[in-house]
Amino acid sequence: MPPQAEAETRVPFQVADSFVLALDDFMDRTRQGGHVSQSVLELDRAPDLEKLHASLRRLVAKHPLLVATPRRSWKTLLPYWSVPIPPPGGSLPLGLWREEGAAADLPGSRVIPDAKDFLQAEMMEPLPGIGALPCNARLDVVALRGGRCLIALSWSHLLVDGKGAELLLEEIGRLADGVDLPDDVPTPAKPALSLLEKFRKTKPAMDHLTGLQKTGTPSLGGPKPRGGRGFYEVLALDPEQSAVAQKRMEKLGGGLFPLAFFVACVARAHDRVFRHRGRSPEGYGISVPTQTRRRGARGPLFHNHVAVLYFHPRREHLESLEIATAAMREQFAAMMRAKISESFDAVLDLMRRAPTRLFLWIIRAQFRGEICSCFHSYTGPFAATMTRFAGSPITNAYHLPCLGTPPGTGIFFGEREERLNITITWREGALTDEEKSLMVAQLRADLLGEPTP
């Protein structure tokens, strides 16, 4: 880490941030890069660069957490962000690129062969700094052949989560339009619990993990950490296909339970690949973060405001999508009744002082070296109120989460203007091309009612 600032403001990590800190450290130590993800806007033309430059300069001055450094107090052993005082001048790093043959007017841009390959490679690169300070995000503008353009926000999962990345893009867009709103009031801290109360509160989570331990949480990437590139595939359903998937979700999962339907699809897609490998595991453990921000709230932008749920699809649940969805609905309801997410928060709270290596070692030791079978999230509408960005209309938007091995794979769902986007991400060696095609085919079969592969 860089030398500590002479003057600093200390911003404490929140509970969920501590798990991400352990995962980020693990990925770095095993040469898998940092835990850097991307959020992408597709525009119908290049943005106004003058407005964008002005926005990114104001952004760092307004939000100095973007150049903060993670540290740990030697007195309390708790992690915190060291925010320099005064905040530095400068702009959020901005890269300008254009595909070979792109006609868009993007002064100062450098040529790249292909936007998808470029973004995949960018996820593996360290985020650039501002002078001697690290930077926890960057923005890239990529002109595509045909006149369209991509905006890719790369962000450290230590500082923001997926919904926070959407809020950050909205903030950049507002500042580009000259709208500088005051920050949202931070979420009030929960009442402090005694050590005994925290231990008591961990029981539902520990009981839940015991059930997962009985079947294990096998992953396609396997328990051994491996380097190599990260890859992604985005399935952007058209409005008609999205409507079909929506109707199937409402019929099987109920309009109030989209998560159960999507978890069932994710489980069956992974199971299809395992069966292709000649394996039929007894069960899987799917890690699913759910938002704790108030619905409709504009912020807060920073920290990981999530509660973690572990779904446990077992062999008998996977015979059909109907059975799988019903089982995941029952599990979701049971987890809500038992307040599993609050119990997992208590577990993470007790672990916050532990060294990051010990933190993740304890998790992996419970699951024979694994962390979970795969990562999944359903993020809902992507920045639904934002229709333009720096003067250009938005045509689509989605997340490209980065992950390591284990587990090596993840499937993520989100929406943009009633269109469903599905992102499949995997680490090199976790999926072959044939296996990825089988996974895509199974997803389409379950989402759209197409023939099973």
pLDDT at 2 over 60: no
User: Left, alpha or beta for 228 (phi > 0: left; psi -120 to 50: alpha)?
Assistant: left
Compare 34 and 137 and report the one with higher pLDDT.
137
User: E strands along 187-294, which residues?
Assistant: 230-236, 286-291
Give the pLDDT confidence of 410-433 residue by residue, as tens digits: 999 999 999 999 999 999 999 999
Enumerate the β-bridge partners of residue 291: 306
Going by pLDDT thresholds of 50, 70 and 90, the confidence category of residue 186 is low
Cis peptide before 86 (omega within 30 of 0): yes
Task: Write down the pLDDT at residue 104.
Answer: 67
Number of Cβ atoms within 10 Å of the Cβ of 342: 13
Which CATH number is correct for 8-176, 3.40.50.2300, 3.40.50.150, 1.20.120.790, 3.30.559.10? Answer: 3.30.559.10
Give the pLDDT confidence of 246-284 residue by residue, as tens digits: 999 999 988 767 999 999 999 999 999 999 999 999 999
- Report residue 324 as tokens: 């799988």
- Report residue 308 as tokens: 């973690």
Handedness of CA 400, 405, 406, 409 (dihedral sign): positive
Residue with tokens 């389409």: 444
Q: What is the CATH number of domain 195-448?
A: 3.30.559.30
pTM across the whole model: 0.94
Task: Write down the pLDDT at residue 3.
Answer: 46
Would you say how long the chain is, in residues?
Answer: 453
SS3 for 122? Answer: helix
Q: What angle do CA 283, 205, 197 make, to 5 degrees?
A: 175
- Report residue 325 as tokens: 């969805």
SS3 for 251? Answer: helix
Domain ranges of the chain: 8-176, 195-448
**CA distances in angstroms from 234 to 333, 336, 412, listed in the order given:** 30, 31, 9
Q: Among candidates 403, 405, 375, 376, which has minimal Cα distance to 223?
A: 405
pLDDT at 5 over 80: no
Tell me, yes or no, if the two domains 8-176 and 195-448 fold the same way.
yes
